[in-house]
Amino acid sequence: MLRIRSLQSRKMGSIAAANKKPHAVFIPYPTQSHIKALLKLSKLLHHRGFHITFVNTEFNHRRFLKSQGPNSLDGLPDFRFEAIPDGLPLSEEDATQDIILLCQYIRKRSMVAPFLELLTKLNHRATTSNINPPVTCIVSDGLMLHSRTLMEKGIIPLKDEASLTNGFLETVIDWIPGFEGIRLKDFSSFIRTTNPNETLLDYSSTSTVGLEKASALILHTFDALESHVLKAVSSMYPHTYAIGPLQRLLDRVPENSSEKVGYHLWKEDTECLKWLDTKPPNSVLYVNFGSIAVTTPQQLVEFGMGLANSKQNFLWIIRPDLVTGESAILPAELAVETKERGKIASWCPQEQGFCLDWYRDDDYDTAVSLQVGFLLAKLN
């Protein structure tokens, strides 16, 4: 869910014609999937004539340069990248930041002052040079959740741990427009807490504050999939637009320098594509835990043995930071058992891979799977 905030236009005096473009400033929640979605949208708007400023945290900016190359964010004159501090202590460069700590610092508004300074700099630069036009809108992303109402109704946090197993999670929540019949267990797993001060619960309950001030909402979905949801959201926020699936739209855009900017904070292993070329169509299980989830060493081994016992071809993405506090080490017998039908990579060029015919199942991205028509299995 994306929020667009229009900014009042200012008198700029004499500005070159190229400086009269609408200027959208994008600021994503600073994790992989959020950055990726907004970067795709920014490329689409750039193709339609927008000047783009894409704002990363300094931490993620360094990660992009490390994974994509020192000149990867040079962009174009009208597609530029900026970086602001997030206020967090320094952490390992090739790992996702602590999500709990990140939410805490966002709640403290530690990035607000640097972001406002950046907007001031951009608008000042618009009056003194042709580097960029004045800022006309801000595009940010957030969570479209009803956790605050669930808390107000006393449904969450859970009274005790027994609620996890006594059937309470089967409770039907029948008062959310567009989601009639949804059960409590269908919500994100972070609501399953007995702690009223749980950081993720508190963050989600406050993340929609200010939605009423947004000029528009953009949802990464499409009418044929969720028409009832879109109708319900539009009744609350009239300027709601469904724009999914983003990758299908990007596939129609001629490639230029902005389109070559990668989406990933980890270096992509292109060797896995060569390995996939050796496999028959629709024969490979794609296993990816995403960019945030972590496992214990025991869980990793157990999952690996499950893949071995499946007797299927598989491509398994194991991030450098997937195992909590340790390196990912798998038993030697697992490698022997799966050497002809298994491939392990640190990160995969997903846009290239999913456009081909190898995947039979995956555990990564619902939108991409729907877009290309693959079966999807989710592990919660």
Per-residue pLDDT band at 380 (split at 50, 70, 90): low
Domain 271-372: which CATH number of 3.40.50.2300, 3.40.640.10, 3.40.190.10, 3.40.50.2000: 3.40.50.2000
Whole-model pTM above 0.75? yes
- What is the rounded distance in angstroms from the CA atom of residue 165 to the CA atom of residue 307? 28
Among candidate residues 34, 47, 94, 361, the one labeled active-site is: 34
User: Which is nearest to 250 in space by CA: 261, 266, 239, 264?
Assistant: 261
* Per-residue pLDDT, 57: 92
pLDDT tens-digit map of 133-167: 999 999 988 765 566 677 777 777 888 889 888 99
- What is the rounded distance in angstroms from the CA atom of residue 234 to the CA atom of residue 217? 9
Among candidate residues 78, 86, 141, 362, the one labeled active-site is: 141
* Per-residue pLDDT, 68: 79
* Per-residue pLDDT, 173: 87
In the numeric block, the tokens 């709640």 are attached to 107
Catalytic-residue membership of 34: yes
* Per-residue pLDDT, 286: 87
Write down the mean pLDDT value for the chain: 81
Element (H, E) at 105: helix 99-107
Strands 172-173 and 182-183: antiparallel
Q: Answer whether residue 359 shows pLDDT above 50.
A: no
Q: Where are the alpha helices (DSSP H) in 23-73?
A: 32-47, 58-68
pLDDT tens-digit map of 169-203: 999 988 888 888 889 888 877 778 888 777 777 77
In the numeric block, the tokens 């990758």 are attached to 247
Fold that domain 2-141+211-250 belongs to in CATH: Rossmann fold (3.40.50)
Phi/psi at 246 (nearest 5 deg)? -60, -40
Same fold, 2-141+211-250 and 271-372: yes
- The CA-based angle 101-103-107, given to 5 degrees, is 115
* Per-residue pLDDT, 9: 46
- What is the rounded distance in angstroms from the CA atom of residue 192 to the CA atom of residue 210? 26
- Per-domain boundaries in the chain: 2-141+211-250, 147-203, 271-372
pLDDT tens-digit map of 204-216: 777 666 677 788 9
